[in-house]
């Protein structure tokens, strides 16, 4: 009797993740990860926006949580969508700020909202993932 070995196949959403310390230096690592992923997927037109979004999400985790580490996630839940997320162990919900004209802080999620197609967060048993989605334009 002859048997054939199964061929490996990818399942689930394609994506890249990296865990990093919850400190300002990690924003650079997160930007490099997002840039590398978007270039790998051939959607380098989203790099500038993607790196700005991940920097804001990382900075929010640093400023508003007491986490020791965060996990950056870059996934492709659908062909025309890229999701950039930052996971932390803090259970508090992110909130849009309403800074005054002279305020130097409080605009992070407002910027994420302006740059992304949509954004939100998913509560987890261990914390949350704050994410933003970008639409991928079809190439002609």
Angle at the Cα of 71 from the Cα atoms of 18 and 88, rounded to 5 degrees: 175
> What are 124's strand-pairing partners?
127
Mean pLDDT of 63-90: 93
Residues 95-140: tens digit of each pLDDT:
776 665 665 565 788 899 999 999 999 999 999 999 999 999 876 5
Question: What pLDDT was estimated at residue 14?
Answer: 80
Q: d(Cα 16, Cα 106) in Å, to the nearest integer?
A: 29
Q: What is the pTM of this model?
A: 0.85
Nearest to residue 61, comparing CAs of 127, 12, 125? 127
What's the CATH fold of domain 15-94+105-135?
A: Heat Shock Protein 90 (3.30.565)
pLDDT(54) > 60:
yes
Residues 18-47: tens digit of each pLDDT:
999 999 999 999 999 999 999 999 999 999
- Segment (H or E) for 5: none
Q: d(Cα 59, Cα 128) in Å, to the nearest integer?
A: 15
For the residues of 33-61, what is the DSSP string, one character each?
Answer: HHHHHHHHTT-GGGHHHHHHHHHHHHHHH
């Amino acid at each position: 009797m002859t048997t054939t070995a199964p061929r490996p196949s990818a399942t689930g959403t394609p994506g890249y993740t990296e865990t990093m310390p919850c400190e300002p230096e990690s924003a650079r690592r997160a930007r490099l990860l997002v840039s590398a992923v978007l270039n790998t997927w051939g959607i380098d037109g989203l790099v500038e926006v993607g790196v700005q979004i991940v920097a804001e999400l990382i900075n929010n985790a640093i400023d508003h949580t007491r986490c020791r580490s965060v996990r950056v996630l870059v996934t492709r839940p659908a062909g025309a969508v890229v999701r950039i997320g930052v996971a932390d162990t803090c259970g508090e919900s992110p909130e849009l700020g309403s800074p005054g004209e002279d305020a130097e802080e409080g605009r992070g999620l407002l910027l994420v909202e302006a740059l992304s197609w949509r954004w939100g967060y998913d509560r987890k048993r261990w914390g949350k993932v704050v994410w933003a989605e970008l639409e991928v334009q079809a190439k002609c």
